[in-house]
Chain A
Amino acid sequence: MKKLGDCLGYLILLLIFLSFLSVLINFLFNYVSIPLQDLLIYLHASCFMLGIVYAYHHDKHVRIDIFFQKFSLAKQNKVNKWGAVILLMPFFGFLCFISYNYVASSWLKFEGSAESGGLPFIYGLKTLMLIMPISMLVYASIKMFRKQ
């Protein structure tokens, strides 16, 4: 998990510097690079889609903790455990299930960019829609088995 965090951290830095670079190029040469714009979108989407499991690992997904923070540790664990079974697993399972055809059909035609000159890896980008829920399902299951 630490490695994932570092990788995504580098991606964020890259996102910021490349988008700064694109401003510079636009300002100096009055030129907008479509592949660069696409790359920024890809970087950004990868950062947060892969970051979701990383944020979950660090318990960074915001909670409404008016009552939660006053619960005993045992009760908090209970909320987390049942939440994972009743809410997390079905939700991410559903995302996986519903996205499968969507992603598969994109792979079958090796879907390129809608804009001319854009990066031709839409199918790769869409694959994140499967990786994200699967990463959450795997991580949540591992966490649950370890606890028992």
Chain B
Amino acid sequence: MEAIWALGLFVSVALVLLLGYPVAITLGGVSLWFALIGWFAGWFDTAFLMAMPNRVFGIMTNVTLMAVPVFVFMGLVLEKAKLAQSLLENMAALLGGAKGGLGFALLIVGTLLAASTGIVGATVVTLSLLALPVMKKNGYDESLSAGTICATGTLGQIIPPSIVLVLLGDVLSNAYQQAQIDAGIYSPKTVSVGDLFAGAIVPGLILVGCYALYWVYIIVVHPNKAPATETKLTKSMVQILGSLLPPFVLIVAVLGSIISGIASPTEAASVGAVGALFLALIKKQLNKKILMEISRETVKVTAMIFLILIGAALFSLVFKGFHGDEIIREFLIDLPGGKMTALLIVMLVMFFLGFILDFIEITFVIVPIVGPILLSQGFDPVWLGIMFAINLQTSFLTPPFGFALFYLKGATNIESSKLYKGVLPFIIIQVLVLLILVWQPQLTELVKF
């Protein structure tokens, strides 16, 4: 009977969400109604709700999550500084003369942007507005270009410093501690955002490397899809490399200080934010009006994320009140094939939920439920977090509901069928990289301090 309540809560939330009312309020509201009805029916103990104020206060004083507004701010400054535009122009001038050169320029710029801004929607839109017309004009295959833009634009999920990994890091560290306490270990090991960032570097580079290999394949087998273009090098080599340097230094500084443990994610992000402001000032893209616009936007995005956290906190309390976590635990533990089957099922569920939910909701709603179960079965928390992140990125690329596809379609008027054909190879690459990580899990441990 309790299984029905817990399942009913989950399904109702999903159905009501599809009506389009704000996610955070829907999560909280529907859970509250379930708690009330369950209470009247005698199935729900309201003591579970009494933990809510403590949860909210915990969210307010969570030091890890303080990095969120600072990273959002940094990304917005870099976006307003028109970093992408000058980077793309310079790289195209540098590489455009070679076959497929524009494609490689797009890959490099996309990766740099993903690392520095980490805002998926903005990166996809910017790249598609800037790169797609140029590539089309120069005779590049439209499907191929659009697919590459979607794939590199969503790299911001996985390539650190990414907001996704900050949120996942917080949730996973709680899940990890809980898993260990459940197992009777009272001095639990911890996992930090820095660990997750360090672990994501190699898998992120493997992803980009595979994208590049695919472009090499295109150049060799279908050279007419990616012709060389006539470019005039108007700027000197030094100027071009000079424009690449600042964002690169910024990323290295932010990442380096977090991973080496000198600075907390928030502190490192604040260094990055001040650096980004400096960069924007040099490029003369900053004035008081833009600065205020950026900080107001940061407030909105941050408030949006944290309200989802608060709504998800109520959802998870009510879900626990109906013993939903125990039901899922029993289901996942008794599977034939052991922990790999459990992981496969969780990954598939997350993949499909990725069609309707954003990464924030999935991180806050699903990971706290399944995280402790999977971790108690012996998966490494860093590895698991990176699998989740790549899985979600894949989900956002997959037709017909992938978020990245909507962003790209919104910014250009490409035909759906061409777009779907273009992203297909990249989806295959994503799945391959996931399999590589299953085969060689130590890839996430290569970078460590």
Contacts and interface: CB of A to CB of B under 8 A. Distances in A.
A24 B302 CA distance: 25
B303 A62 contact: no
A87 B29 contact: yes
B295 A55 contact: no
A122 B267 CA distance: 23
Contacts of A15: 69-70
Given A9-B295, A83-B26, A16 B18 contact: no
Given A48-B303, A98-B52, A5 B358 contact: no
Contacts of B302: 12, 47-48, 51
A79 interface: yes
B8 interface: no
Contacts, number: 189
Given A22-B267, A64-B17, A12 B304 contact: no
Contacts of B303: 47-49, 51-52, 54-55, 60
Contacts of B262: 27
B345 interface: no
A20 B295 contact: no
A87 B28 contact: yes
A40 B308 CA distance: 22
B184 interface: no
B contact face: mostly helix, strand, loop, or mixed: helix
A143 to B, nearest CB: 14
Say which size band chain B's interface belongs to. 35 or more
A11 B358 CA distance: 27
Interface stretch (B55-63, B324-332, B385-393, B418-426): B55-63
Given A23-B270, A68-B20, A98-B49, A47 B25 contact: no
Interface in A54-111: 54-56, 58, 60-69, 71, 76, 79-80, 83, 86-88, 90-91, 94-95, 98-99, 102-103
B304 A62 contact: yes
A13 interface: yes
B23 A63 contact: yes
B66 A41 contact: yes
B25 A62 contact: no
B263 interface: yes
Contacts of A139: none
8 contacts: A5-B296, A49-B306, A54-B303, A55-B300, A68-B20, A87-B16, A102-B54, A129-B56
Interface of A: 5-6, 8-13, 15-17, 19-20, 22-23, 26-27, 40-41, 44-45, 47-49, 51-52, 54-56, 58, 60-69, 71, 76, 79-80, 83, 86-88, 90-91, 94-95, 98-99, 102-103, 125-126, 128-129
